[in-house]
Amino acid sequence: MLTKILPIYENDDFIVIDKPSGISFHNQQGTSGIHTLLKAQLGDNIWPVHRLDKIISGLLIFAKSQYVAAELGKMFEQRKIDKTYIALGDKKPKKKQGHIIGDMKKSRRGSWKLCQSKVNPATTHFQSRSLLPGIRLYWITPTTGKTHQIRVALKSIGAPILGDQRYSGSNAVRGYLHAYQLSFSWRDEHSNIHCRPNFGKYFVSNEITNLLNEFSLSNINTTLQTE
């Protein structure tokens, strides 16, 4: 039985879906990836714009033409699409907010590591709050899109993502990293698309609602002050 993919937003040019955690982008060892699943649901005329790691859930854009896919891809490269992720960790971070900046270098067995050099650095901004005793919520706004960037960034401050065993995260039912919000303008219309995670006991807890509202309001106020 094919996994039903939930559409979050759609217009004539693209569709934004809620990608489930645990599904790869490409087919792997006879298991359908998210692109194949979506084509089975919507038809072949769908083109990927960007990607999310297997452990990540949340917002993913697919275009309805090659032209739109290319244009949206350029917007990601030019940092004209603002991305917000949320993550959970169960270890005490070296710092509770700020910037994590450094070059990323391939490590062993498909992993990456953060370096102190800044030739072509990954840049990750974050804030955090206590969600529950022993569990911390991270509100993350990367300005680059490197492979495993957020996962490596949080590990570098001693706070690997809960469930992300590749980067020393504690065992959990899922990797607690979710692509929560996309904000961008397309054809003179601004879109601010967000999607709450719907799987994982900490992600669906009552406590998370107030914190997400707090983070959203804080960032809206910061934007208004700088305009």
Question: Hey, which residues are catalytic here?
Answer: 53
Cα–Cα distance for residue pair 200/97, rounded to 1 Å = 24
61 and 38 in contact (C-beta within 8 Å)?
Answer: no
Backbone angles phi, psi at 153, to 5 degrees: -60, -50
Closest by CA position to 98, among listed 128, 136, 134: 128
How far apart, in Å, are the Cα atoms of 50 and each of 35, 86, 107, 210, 211? 11, 18, 23, 30, 28
